[in-house]
Amino acid sequence: MNHKMPWNLAQGTGPIMEILAAFFVGLCCVLLSNGIEVEALHNGCQNFQSHTVMLQEKQPYRTSFHFQPPENWLNGMNRPMWYKGVYHLFYQYNPYGALFGDIMIWAHSVSHDLINWIHLNHALCPTEPYDINSCWSGSATILPGKGPVILYTGIDSNHRQVQNMAVPKNLSDPLPEEWTKFPQNPIMTPPDGVEGNNFRDPTTAWLSPDGKWSVIIGSWSNNQGMAILYRSEDFVNWTKYQDPLYSTERTGMWECPDFYPVSVNSTNGADTSVLGAGFKHVMKASFNSHDYYLIGTYAPGMQKYIPDNDFTSTSKDLRYDYGKFYASKTFFDIDKNRRILWGWVNESDSIEDDTDKGWSGLQSFPRHIWLDRSGKQLVQWPIEEINKLHGKKVGFLHKKLDSGSVFEVQGITASQVDVEVVFELPELQEAEFLNPTGVDPQLLCTDANASVKGKFGPFGLLALATKDLTEHTAIFFRIFKGLKGYVILMCSDQSRSTLRDEVDKTTYGAFVDIDPRREKISLRSLIDHSIIESFGGEGKACITSRVYPKLAVHEEAHLVIFNNGTLSVTISSLNAWSMNKAQIKHKENFIGKASH
């Protein structure tokens, strides 16, 4: 059924942009001139304000430079965007408590630099039959020459997942804080064969060469995870395409899909609609608690995505992060010509402790993401703006780490630090043999934790460690000779991260696709009180963990380098920066610098 538009189309026909112009202008005018004041003047979020909790001063697990709301539960991201000189972060939020809630809303924060943030009023809250039971995830699309449109999943009065649309109430506002829901919502309802609880999380839309917009919705149907494709000429009336853009029997239900081009020969990003020989396409899906991705080719003529390699349901499948990282989204930062990835990093603590501390969930540090030169995987690296928070630096070059050595990196605030260490391995040929075929790196790291001696490794960092090392999180490498070259194993071992028992201490692991004969074995870790984000091989493998030391907090935390292998390794360089605290405040502190 075609939605009846409550406004006249712009004079002089054609095409899409005029229809869209009419949508924006018309929607605001109709709503305002019709005097639907509740809709026009409020977004209903005034009824969903949090009961402000005074969090205990100096909580040991609050972060200093990772984004988190002042209190309560945060989960998966809604697509971030850059608009009129300001970065916008929308996220899933329970305004009423520290656990996932029956009523979820879109919270909204803004930033000039992706580091310091201002919390604005909530953007979308359940008010209408089509979203009365929650406003779940979705994405923003910036319509060229027009402005942002949000597509989001509403949980309707029948508890069905439906897709809805919203636009800024005031398009001239450089910080669109109030969002107006489209009166004809929902614009998509679960199609035949798709259950009402398996139809969610619209992506940013892209414009195809035939002039139509496309968007995908995460789903599960006929035992297949899938990206259901919808197409539209006017961004208002959407038609389901006969086949999904991609589907597979080797995954669960797809949450928060993401689909975007990556350049084959540069680290630059590209707008979601970009096509051409110089680009591959990434398809990402969140399922089974992890964010998996494929690299492949998008054939817009056939409306098909053709991955270079399919999912396998094994540990060989590519993941953004091999630790705790879920429901992520990317966006194209047109200002700096890069694509940025953010993920939700959930707690590993007990429900009782989450409730007591009054909050749950963080955003990862924003990561610049691009296609590796090999074309086989993505690479991620903390955005350069992190330098703004760098405080005192310590560093050294060429230090030999004999077997059994342990030494402290002194002079930094070890509970909030950015550290990068590069290792050299003399006598590489001495490495033990490992046939990696069919080996799950996480199991390998679990079976041989940091206390188990090898030849080359374990060596690496002990983060958030007590002086006597009773508590520590070990992020380390083991190097093996493989069938063809070398095998680099990277582990994050949480088993001794805290003396507390009730915490999930799962160990994580990944193989890092580097050749130590030619490439550096490097490890960078962003350590921030209860989160450690680690980047191995200059961002080829990432592992994020949540840890809750009992003793190694604030000034009692230490950063230590260790080598528990029988062979010595050399640190070719180490640099560590104490991190300053990011400013994350409420909106009265925002000094608008947005451009019009």
Closer residue to ligand DQQ, CB minimum distance, 107 or 463: 107
**Minimum CB distance to ligand DQQ smaller for 217 or for 371:** 217
377 touches 540 (CB < 8 A): yes
Give least dist CB 587 to ligand DQQ, A. Answer: 24
**Least CB distance from residue 504 to ligand DQQ, whole Å?**
17
Q: Provide, rounded to whole angstroms, the least separation between the CB of residue 344 and ligand DQQ.
A: 7
Question: For residue 160, what are the CA distances in angstroms to 59, 87, 100, 104, 182?
Answer: 39, 32, 18, 15, 18
Name the residue nearer to ligand DQQ (CB basis): 101 or 391. 101
**Is the separation of the CB atoms in 191 and 220 below 8 Å?**
no
Q: Residue 86 Cβ, how far from ligand DQQ at the closest point, in Å?
A: 24
Separation of CA 163 from chain center: 22
Q: Which is nearer to ligand DQQ, 245 or 567 (CB)?
A: 245
Q: How far is the CB of 82 from ligand DQQ (least distance, A)?
A: 23
Query: What is the SS3 assignment for 23?
Result: helix
Q: Retrieve residue 121's tokens.
A: 């009023």
Q: What is the spatial distance between Cα 449 and Cα 10, in angstroms, rounded to a whole number?
A: 66
Cβ nearer to ligand DQQ, comparing 408 with 504: 504
Nearer to ligand DQQ, 75 or 498 (CB): 75
Q: Which is nearer to ligand DQQ, 218 or 565 (CB)?
A: 218
Q: How far is the CB of 482 from ligand DQQ (least distance, A)?
A: 36
Contacts with 196 (C-beta within 8 Å, 6 or more apart), sequence order: 158, 159, 160, 161, 190
Buried b (16+ CB within 10 A) or exposed e, 40-79: beebbbeebebeeeeeeeeebbbbbbbbbbebbbbbbbbb
For binding to ligand DQQ (CB under 6 A), which residues are involved?
75-76, 92, 104, 136-137, 153, 200-201, 255-256, 327
Taking CA atoms, 322 is separated from 28, 381, 495, 529, in Å, by 45, 15, 16, 20
Structure tokens at 35: 């005097």
**In sequence order, what are the beta bridge partners of 576?**
394, 419
Who contacts 480 (Cβ-Cβ below 8 Å, separation ≥6)?
431, 432, 433, 434, 436, 456, 486, 487, 488, 489
3-state secondary structure 371-393: ECCCCCCEEEEECHHHHHHEEEE
Q: Is-contact 529 510, C-beta < 8 A? A: no
The two three-digit tokens of residue 200, written as one number: 């969610």
Tell the smallest beta-carbon distance from residue 217 to ligand DQQ (Å): 11
In whole angstroms, the minimum distance from the beta carbon of 304 to ligand DQQ comes to 24
The continuous run of DSSP H or E covering 197 comes out as none
- Short-list 20, 39, 23, CA closest to 31: 39
- Nearest distance from C-beta of residue 58 to ligand DQQ, angstroms: 30
**341 vs 463 by CB, closer to ligand DQQ:** 341
Nearer to ligand DQQ, 343 or 441 (CB): 343
Using CA atoms in the order 233, 185, 255, 89, what is the torsion angle rounded to 10 degrees? 90
The vertex-400 CA angle with 394 and 403, nearest 5°, equals 120
Q: Which is nearer to ligand DQQ, 139 or 416 (CB)?
A: 139
Which residue number, 104 or 523, has a Cβ lying nearer to ligand DQQ? 104
